[in-house]
Amino acid sequence: MVEAYAAAELPPGDVIPARWLAQHIHDATARGIVAAVTDLIRHRGEVKDRYLPTVRNLAGTLQISPATVAKAWRVLGEAGLISTNGSQGTRVVGEEPPGHRLESVIGGLPMQLDLMSPSPDPELLPDIEPHLAAVMSSDVLGDFNKYGGDMLVAPLAEYARRTWPFDPGMIVPCGGCYDGVLLLLDVLARPGTRVAVESPTAAPVLDQLEYLRCEIVPVPADGEGMIPSALAEAGDVEVVVIQSRFSSPDGHTMTADRAGELAGILRKRPTVPVVIESDPAPLLAAGPGVSLGNWLPDRVVLVRGWNKSHGPDLRVALIGGAPGIVQLARRRRAMGSVWTSRLLQGTLSLMLADDGVARTVAAAAGEYRQRRAALARELSRLEIDTYGTEGFSLWVGVQDEHTALRVLRAYGISAAGGSAFTQLPARQHHLRIATTQLPVHHAAEVALAVREAATASRAVALR
């Protein structure tokens, strides 16, 4: 009879019966209860939005101390899986699926003005077609039909070694800048690994770290990147993830002085952590690339990509740095896609060597800077401060994220909520406002809408 009850569907009603829940708990410790309830949330969708039995009810059914159940409820609450609302009881909230941060910022309802997606303007990209055609008749590919040949085409390798900000002991290709960063995290991090990240940082990085069940250590950033004193206070970490320039979402640019300070802090640790740096658009950035690899060459790996400047389908990036770490990424890739298309690598190498393409990319970089600066200037006139000097977006402080987004929607403007980019407590809410598609002549009117959104409180919005 008990087995039949355990296998049965969840009985109807607002409250999950204590007896039904107890049959799914095979270890009546706090840890066992947490594991059982988490498993039900993930695999039994019908428990979502239902109320859990009271602590005393479940404890009596399991014949354990109410303190044990209370401890399990507390752990589940801290994980965001359940929510307690006083006399109304404890409700199953559910679990955000992997990638929920990225999904929240890559686009939603069609709007009149899309300031949510910081994607390149197609009108500013160089023409890829002649280089795709030329690569087949060039000698840059070698024997690209041969399995087991060179994974990295020679001209691209030569370009990388000539332009890398430090001596890369080893270079391997991957399928894009984020692909390279996530690949490195996959081979370096395990559940519980302490990983320091800038706050704010790119949403896919936080998604990956949550998926890997790492301990995320957010380190506040300013216009020059990670704040050294905050990194020092972060304690021992095993991995540090840094955006050196053209960063998302705030547009900071790491200076040589700042890089040296950060390297000095990390060098004093008993075990120097591995540093993963990303440089997603080196040819759109205004200044030279700076890397901690000049101070910590045996612990730094840099990922560089060009699809933002040369075309979204050129999914080619390079991972270069400490050979032992790069080799881990290469071995992991050998279990899957093995190599990045040498046709795409060859096409990119021809474009990087083309003077006409270089002029087109330089013009695009100038236009992107003008669009970003125009909105930043108008916001500054309205006493709304931003920081960072380049990138595809602005990081704007607001009183309440959700209210601000609703106000902008009323104006036909979409933006991304800042909570997707940070794990620090929300002392101040933010929005990420993309500027790549924003015409300069619209900057003033957009700034007025942003000011209204930034200063609107939740109370005003609910009137």
Residue 51 and residue 15 in contact, taking contact as beta carbons nearer than 8 Å: yes
Percent of the chain with pLDDT over 70: 90
User: What's the chain's average pLDDT?
Assistant: 88
Fold of 100-122+367-461: Aspartate Aminotransferase, domain 1 (3.90.1150)
**pLDDT tens, position by position, 354-395:** 999 999 999 999 999 999 999 999 999 999 988 888 999 999
- Find the angle CA(175)-CA(180)-CA(186) to the nearest 5 degrees: 120
Report for 66-75, 112-121, 149-158, 364-373: range of highest mean pLDDT: 364-373
The pLDDT assigned to 258 comes to: 97
**pLDDT tens, position by position, 29-47:** 887 898 888 878 877 778 8
The pLDDT assigned to 426 comes to: 65
| Residue partners of 88: CB distance under 8 A and separation at least 6 | 51
The average pLDDT across 383-409 equals 91
The average pLDDT across 159-184 equals 95
Q: How confident is the model at residue 112 (pLDDT cuts 50, 70, 90)?
A: confident
Q: Please state which CATH class domain 128-355 belongs to.
A: alpha beta
> Given a cut of 50, is residue 113 above it in pLDDT?
yes
**pLDDT tens, position by position, 35-84:** 888 878 877 778 888 999 999 999 999 999 988 999 888 878 866 788 88
Q: According to CATH, where is 1.10.10.10 located in the chain?
A: 2-92
| For the chain, counts of helices (H) and of strands (E) | 19, 15
> Given a cut of 90, is residue 27 above it in pLDDT?
no
The pLDDT assigned to 44 comes to: 78
Q: How confident is the model at residue 98 (pLDDT cuts 50, 70, 90)?
A: low
Q: How confident is the model at residue 260 (pLDDT cuts 50, 70, 90)?
A: very high
Q: Where are the beta strands (DSSP E) in 252-382?
A: 274-279, 300-305, 317-321
The pLDDT assigned to 456 comes to: 82
The pLDDT assigned to 146 comes to: 66
Terminal-to-terminal C-alpha distance of the chain: 54
The pLDDT assigned to 277 comes to: 98
Specify the CATH architecture of the domain 2-92. Answer: Orthogonal Bundle (1.10)
The pLDDT assigned to 10 comes to: 84
The pLDDT assigned to 110 comes to: 43
For residues 359 and 368, give the distance between their C-alpha atoms in angstroms, rounded to a whole number.
14
Q: According to CATH, where is 3.40.640.10 located in the chain?
A: 128-355
The average pLDDT across 103-129 equals 77
DSSP 165-216: SS--SEEEEESSHHHHHHHHHHHH--TT-EEEEEES--HHHHHHHHHTT-EE
The pLDDT assigned to 150 comes to: 65
Neighbouring C-alpha atoms within 13 Å toward the C-beta of 295: 20
The pLDDT assigned to 77 comes to: 81
